Amino acid sequence: MNKYLQLSPRVREALDNGRPVIALESTIISHGMPYPQNVETALACEALSREHGAEPATVAVIGGRLCAGLTGEQIEYLGKAGQKIRKVSRRDMPMVVSRQEDGATTVAATMIIAALAGIRVFATGGIGGVHRGAETNMDISADLEELAVTPVAVVCAGAKSILDLGLTLEYLETKGVPVIGYQTDELPAFYTSRSGFRVPGRADTPEEIAGAILAQRGLGFPGGMLITNPIPEAYEMPKDVIDKSISKALDDANAKGISGKDVTPFLLARVVELTGGDSLKSNIRLVYNNVALAAKIATALSSKK
């Protein structure tokens, strides 16, 4: 085992006994939602994962240790500290580890730690992607690069709708990342189930997805897989409402000169303000939906060994 990796007793026991485990990220706790909804959501995700048969491994860097599986106290700490906690992606990990600092892991960093631990499935809200205007500012999330090189299947509600979804799909295609729509032929757009962009693959059961993951590994292909799971219809945001809010949030970010890794947290928080909190409710529900599906996929994978 990697000398920097630390597994919780429950995660270690599950992995040692071949039981299903799913990874959960921590940036959603510190940077994705306000307190106390962030902590409540994180703990509810863990409970939901267990209800569906998989042990949850919430991932973060604590004291320079790459932790897969957190205590309730550690989740509370990340939630209360919020954006004071450093947002950690691949580029940040060497310094954070060497300085024995704390960090909330992005999709990319969570994938890295999950792969080190031997966890093959990861549930999140939405991945990062190609930002609007990337043709001039080259703002492309490291999540996409990680999907091309790290063998973890990521279950999400599509790319965040603040992004350029068409270019995000094109980038994933260029990198050879399989993108599978769960019971849909269309890329979900985070707050809404439809984006207008077709996904290259479709699967209608968790068992189909587990089979595709095993085939990918058996073929010796590097990298991960993206499973896009639409937000439940009852919790979708009206497309015109969310599009208007995103447009306003983007204008505000530009006016304030916000760039780089600060863009996504700002935009998500601003959209929550502009929608009167409705987008936060949708965000929480889509995360629950993804956790349930990820747990089912992990269970199917375990049964196919």
- Report whether 130 contacts 164 (CB < 8 A): yes
Q: Is the peptide bond before 36 cis (omega within 30 degrees of 0)?
A: yes
- d(CA 253, CA 177) in angstroms, rounded, equals 30
**What 8-state DSSP symbol labels residue 280?**
H
Q: Report which residue type is found at 128.
A: G
- d(CA 246, CA 227) in angstroms, rounded, equals 24
Nearest to 193 by CA among 224, 141, 234: 234
- d(CA 189, CA 169) in angstroms, rounded, equals 12
- d(CA 1, CA 146) in angstroms, rounded, equals 21
Which residue is catalytic, options 25, 55, 146, 236? 25
Q: To which H or E segment does residue 266 belong?
A: helix 263-274
Instruction: Collapse the DSSP code of 88 into the 3-class scheme (helix H, G, I; strand E, B; otherwise coil) and give the result.
Output: strand
Q: Is 170 a catalytic residue?
A: no
Q: Are strands 55-62 and 103-105 parallel, antiparallel or unpaired?
A: antiparallel
- d(CA 88, CA 110) in angstroms, rounded, equals 9
DSSP 124-137: -S-B--BBTTHHHH
- Burial of 43 per CB tally in 10 Å (0-12, 13-18, 19+): middle
Which residue is catalytic, options 76, 87, 160, 261? 160
Q: Is 135 a catalytic residue?
A: no
Which residues are catalytic, by number?
A: 25, 160
